[in-house]
Amino acid sequence: DQQVKQNSPSLSVQEGRISILNCDYTNSMFDYFLWYKKYPAEGPTFLISISSIKDKNEDGRFTVFLNKSAKHLSLHIVPSQPGDSAVYFCAARGDPDGAQKLVFGQGTRLTINP
């Protein structure tokens, strides 16, 4: 049972335009959400996160939106740059007092075209 889902395996966006990556979750106990970026042959690197008490968090070109009623979060990248081409994973935490176990989505491969 996939608790965190990224339904778009791939996304192609023109350089300079907005990239929107989506993620849905089923477990209402998740209280913290993260986005990771992964280049080929490298480990994932942390990008941005949001607590369930907020609905938006911004960091430079990256903004994450959380809609708790819809159990949906999205990552906006504006403007998109060629270096943003990577696989993006969303992740959720369900146990704030425990070992910080994260549940990951399947990933979305973002390609930025010049």
Partner 1 sequence: NAGVTQTPKFQVLKTGQSMTLQCAQDMNHNSMYWYRQDPGMGLRLIYYSASEGTTDKGEVPNGYNVSRLNKREFSLRLESAAPSQTSVYFCASSEVRRETQYFGPGTRLLVL
Binding site for partner 1 (CB under 8 A): 4, 6, 9, 32, 34, 36, 41-46, 49, 89, 91, 93, 96-107
Q: Which is nearer to partner 1, 73 or 93 (CB)?
A: 93
8-state DSSP, 81:
-
- Cβ within 8 Å of residue 69, ≥6 positions away: none
Shortest Cβ 107–partner 1 spacing (Å): 6
**Other CB atoms within 10 A of residue 18 CB:** 13
With beta carbons less than 8 A apart as the criterion, state whether 24 and 39 touch.
Answer: no
Q: What are phi and psi of 51, to 5 degrees?
A: -85, 155
Q: Which is nearer to partner 1, 21 or 102 (CB)?
A: 102
Q: Which is nearer to partner 1, 14 or 45 (CB)?
A: 45
Shortest Cβ 68–partner 1 spacing (Å): 17
